[in-house]
Structure 1
Amino acid sequence: MSRADRAGSSGTRYIDNHSLSAGHAMRPFPPGWRKAALCLALLSLSALARASLPTTVKICEGEEEWPPFTYFSRVNGKAGTEVTGFSVDFVKLLLAKKGIAATIDMIPWKRCQQEVADGRYDMLLNATENEERERLYWVSDAYYQLTGIAFYASSRTPPRLDKLEDLRRYKICGIRGYTYDNYGLSVGQVDQGSANVAMAMGKLLLDRCDLFLNNREIMAGMHAIGAEDYLRDPHFAYLKVPGLHPPRFHMMISRKPPYALELKTLIDKGIRDMEKSGVAERLRKRYLE
């Protein structure tokens, strides 16, 4: 039972006919009084639900960084202590509209997930949805997705990609430890000898690979923390991969706090409002493009 449910009838006012003085006729209630009383009751319950939310929401994210969504701001090319990014600005603006502050701690990603599940943090900002997470957390509505792209050397003829299966006609480069199942490719179909993006892009220039697969937003984020801006490098070009189901990202809200459902409701409504107002699109242009 929520706090609003407990507040049920305790504030309801009623008239006891026996308390009326003798000789005084009871005056009829004005038209529409029932509707007015119901509205007042609902407003009271709504206020109680809002009051149950904390003044500050505690958030954790992975210290490994997830640019351009969550990362440490750079000072002279070195990571500072301020946490910034698309997701950071998004959630802070969303909560601020309701007078709620946010603290964000960058801790190991695996530990962050566990501590949100245990209730030591209220939420985390960037995760895809699956059955396990649906069991552990309240999952918010999706608020961004990634765009799969295929890089190639601009000196070569552009690849022809009309459907997802066309990737199999080319020699694909990837990064060690990553999975490419969502591209319809098995481990054996991807050269994963590269330890990082720079090595994979170098293979394109050496004609050791035809294509290198990544996400446009992640590549933009790498540039935000000081890496090469491959999206604008004249030595490379890229195409959007057709037929790809883009991964959608959500906020994961702890089920432990008594205000958990109120927080989820606030977050979901805030996501819709940010989209309608154009604020979300402005943040995308700032961080993702």
Structure 2
Amino acid sequence: MNKAVFYIILVLCGSLFSFANACERTLRVGINELYWPPYIIHKNGVFSGMEVEAMSLLFEGSGMCSEFIVYPNSSRMLAEIKDGRVDMLFAATETEERKEYAHFSVPYRLEIMSLYMHGSMSYNEFDVKEFARKGMVFGINSGSYYGEFISDLKKRKLLKYVNLPNARKRFELLNMKRIDFVLEDRLAGNYMISDNQYNNVVNTGVVIQSIPVRYMLSKKTVDQHVLNTINYSIQKKRRDILKVFN
């Protein structure tokens, strides 16, 4: 084979490779946390962190890519995905209400929600219902799902809480003892107190909920083919995705 023919074949192979890895579909991904380490970190206009890395693995070779759209809170994101202005959310909990307007992928990681308190507080037993009865204030994320127990307390108006749009604000108020408790993802919460940003915050060790989380996709903009592609990618790359979160 002469050099000219070899060069033409090399160029054609390169073109085919680029086409196979081209972005054929961009999914708009809603995000409301600009600082939620180690899952999401936004610095100099660039998103990084575990969720970003896992999504890159998910879309690799699928013909799809992501575009992050920032919203002020997660409640707004849920409304946007319901109306089809957002295609996808990560770390979502599947509920019957949400299934009415969204598809859910197979699970891709486990989320453990823990109870955090101010270090000056001292209890032998951590009874969330008793704390609620005493009128203690919990900092939560308005769009997050904390399980049936917390949902029931909220519906019955037994839980005194404030909706705070991001983890940094929740931990700042707890650190200053403006609220009594925070419900937060354990990995994120432990990360945020480990670098001495919030010296007065401690993890009680109480697990509020442990549940697999999924990708949530708008039924208005995402069809079954895209959902199947994402599910296939999760299953195929499960080991690598789990390594990201370990």
Match in the other structure for 1:251: 215
- 1:219 aligned to 2:180? no
User: 2:84 & 2:133 partners in 1: Cα distance?
Assistant: 48
Report runs of 4+ in structure 1 exceeding 6 Å deviation.
none
Identity %: 18
Matched residues, number: 212
Q: CA RMSD in A?
A: 4.2
Look up the SS of the partner of 1:146 in the other structure: strand
Decide whether the 8 Å contact of 1:125 with 1:250 is kept in 2: yes
Q: Which of the pair has the greater relative contact order for Cα pairs under 8 Å at 6+ separation?
A: 2
Between structures 1 and 2, the one with greater strand share:
2
Q: Report the TM-score, using the length of structure 2 for normalisation.
A: 0.62
Decide whether the 8 Å contact of 1:61 with 1:70 is kept in 2: no
Question: Which structure: larger Rg?
Answer: 1
Q: Any idea what the Cα deviations from partners look like across 1:7-58, whole Å, max 9, x if unmatched?
A: xxxxxxxxxxxxxxxxxxxxxxxxxxxxxxxxxxxxxxxxxxxx9x963432
Look up the SS of the partner of 1:203 in the other structure: coil
Question: What displacement does 1:252 show?
Answer: 2.0
| Aligned partner letter, 1:151 | M
- 1:280 aligned to 2:241? yes
The farther-off stretch of 100-109 and 87-96 is: 100-109
Match runs of 1:79-158 below 5 Å? 80-96=44-60, 98-108=61-71, 113=78, 116=81, 122-144=87-109, 145-153=111-119, 157=122
Structure 1's 101 and 68: CA in aligned 2 closer, same or farther, altered over 3 A? Answer: farther
Return the match for 2:171 from 193, 197, 202: 197
User: 2:216 & 2:243 partners in 1: Cα distance?
Assistant: 23
Q: Report the TM-score, using the length of structure 1 for normalisation.
A: 0.55
